[in-house]
Structure 1
Amino acid sequence: MPGHSVLQLPVPALEEWVRARHAHYDGGFVSADPRFGHAHVTALGPFDPDPSADVLAAVGAIAAGTPPVRVRLEELAQFASGIIHLVPDPDAPLRDLTARLVAAFPAWPPYDGQFGDDVRPHLTLDAASADVDLASTAALLGDLVPVDVVLDRLQLAWWESGGCRVLHEWSLG
């Protein structure tokens, strides 16, 4: 599968846990880049795989105009696709960031338009299977959640087996 880029907000408080889940499933998606946010909330993805200087400047301006976002990650949920995730609360600032990015870059609809306007901010943790469900994921998380975090960076990250890395990064605010 070819790689793709994502605008994402890293969540350092859960980085070690999510990184370990990546290693469990496919070590190729464990990045050697120490800045890389395995644990993240997607702001917009996929995104331009080869952004121009003007595109990067526009993303930087949106990041600069976005105050850091304080959220609580506590509620564990599962999408119909089987993706087990944490729901950020509140999610309105994250929805707003995504809406501003989509308005600036309409050629890059969230998740290739799969979910229409129903794009729900989340932090992916795992995928349901015969051995993995909400209860097993909650048990693995233990006392890591609930956790209150401040999302203060926006990364343009490249996701590809053997090549996950941060391409650009901006501070929020």
Structure 2
Amino acid sequence: MSDGAYRAGETALLAVVEEAEPLVGPWRRRFDAAAAAGVPAHVTVLVPFLDLDRLDAATVDDLSALIGEHGPFTVRFDRCGRFPDALYLAPTPDRPFRELTEAVAARWPEAPPYGGRFADIVPHLTVAHRRQEHVYDEVEAVLTTGLPLAATVTSITLFVSDGDRWHGRAEFPLDR
């Protein structure tokens, strides 16, 4: 998820990682505006997804069936990674996240991951965003002492923005 203004009716599909919250929550609240907007620790599957006005019952049913074709999985976060504007935890394996993103984007090509801004999808759990390098260094030093962290992903949650905050709207189990 990106920092900045959110558009009312914008949606996102997120793999919420509750197990990470004790480690990353305090840092995210300080250094990631998405946390302040109500987004829990997560790995993004697809953002932006379809606008809320496009999510009729048939689309929600299709989404539920598509996500349900994937099974639950366990990941480890054992290292930090960086983008030029973010510090994140890297999931291993990352393939299940990639497969979910690819499946949803293939079904709804009008909703490419991150609006099509990046050629490669890198699954990640953002901890700090748009900060100075020394902030990333400080946060990473502390996070590393709490790793590795294991998590089991059993569902994908649809989040909807009201323009200021994000709210979980529906949860789709990984059923396979």
TM-score range, shorter chain: 0.7 to 0.9
2:115 to 112, 116, 119: 112
Measured against aligned partners, the alpha-carbon deviations of 1:40-87 in whole angstroms (never above 9, x if no partner) come to 00011111121111211111012211101211111211013x211111
Aligned residue pairs total: 165
1:44 to 46, 54, 75: 46
Aligned to 1:65: 69
Q: Percent identity?
A: 27
Q: In structure 1, give the amino acid aligned to 2:139.
A: T
Measured against aligned partners, the alpha-carbon deviations of 1:17-60 in whole angstroms (never above 9, x if no partner) come to 444334325598253xxxxx510000111111211112111110
Aligned to 1:34: none
User: TM-score scaled to structure 2, two decimals?
Assistant: 0.83
Instruction: Give matches, 1:128-167, under 5 Å.
Output: 128-133=131-136, 135-141=137-143, 143-159=145-161, 162-167=164-169
Shift of 1:155: 0.4
Q: Distance in 1 between matches of 2:83 and 2:134?
A: 17
Unaligned stretches of 5+ residues in structure 1: 32-36
User: TM-score scaled to structure 1, two decimals?
Assistant: 0.84
Name segments (4+ residues, structure 1) moved above 6 Å.
none
Measured against aligned partners, the alpha-carbon deviations of 1:75-133 in whole angstroms (never above 9, x if no partner) come to 211013x21111111111211111100111111000000112x0111111113415412
1:56 to 60, 85, 110: 60
Aligned to 1:11: 17
Unaligned stretches of 5+ residues in structure 2: none
Task: Please provide the CA RMSD for this pair.
Answer: 2.2
Aligned to 2:92: 89
